[in-house]
Amino acid sequence: MIYIFNWLLGKNDFHDAIECLVAALEAKDVYTSGHSSRVADISYDLARMLGLRGTTLANVHVAAHLHDIGKMGIPENILNKNGKLLPHEWAIIQRHPEIGYNILIRSKRLKKIAEIVLYHHERWDGKGYPFGIKMDKIPLGSRIIAVADSIDAMTSERSYRKAMTWEACMEEILVNKGIQFDPVVVEAAEKLWKVWRKRQETYETTELVNSV
């Protein structure tokens, strides 16, 4: 992780600044703790499977770490609400990609990353947000993060529901192939499924050992 930031950005202090942004978000949003890193790992795997390399690969990886940074601008009573959001609360949550874009675009170095973050909740069928664009009009990095974000969300436990099994998660992703998600990205995910499930089992074992 440190290597890829330094390779892309060139300065340790810039890497540190980005790490601070992620830490600040995780301090505000309990759910986000660990989520950004897992989404970044899954996105990196998908991007490599799809043939991305060099700066393009690094941009996707960094954008995945920062994809929820806009939630820093969402009121905590909505962000950490237990239970279903009301329509007006959901509308506020849906602003976070644009808020994240406006935060990141302040740095010229993060322009490409900001654009990926802006579109990561768009859908293949055009029913996403904030703009409702579809298919190839959505940046590839955003399409990759959309799949990675959904996978981690489904396989992570929330206050109001238990985590899905990896089998149930895969079924849900496949059902939405060509609807919510880019079909090519989903096909790449199918090839990586066993790797991710094994990785999660390793994380869970490590957490159990550390808690004893």
- Do residues 199 and 142 touch, judged by C-beta distance below 8 A? no
158: β partners: 161
- Do residues 69 and 103 touch, judged by C-beta distance below 8 A? yes
Compute CA distances 144 → 29, 32, 180, 182, 197, whole Å: 23, 19, 12, 8, 18
**pLDDT-flagged residues of the chain (< 50):** 1-7, 11, 208-212
pTM for this predicted structure: 0.88
pLDDT of residue 2: 42
| Ranges of each domain in the chain | 2-211
Specify the CATH class of 2-211 in words: mainly alpha
Q: Which residue has the tokens 């290597």?
A: 3
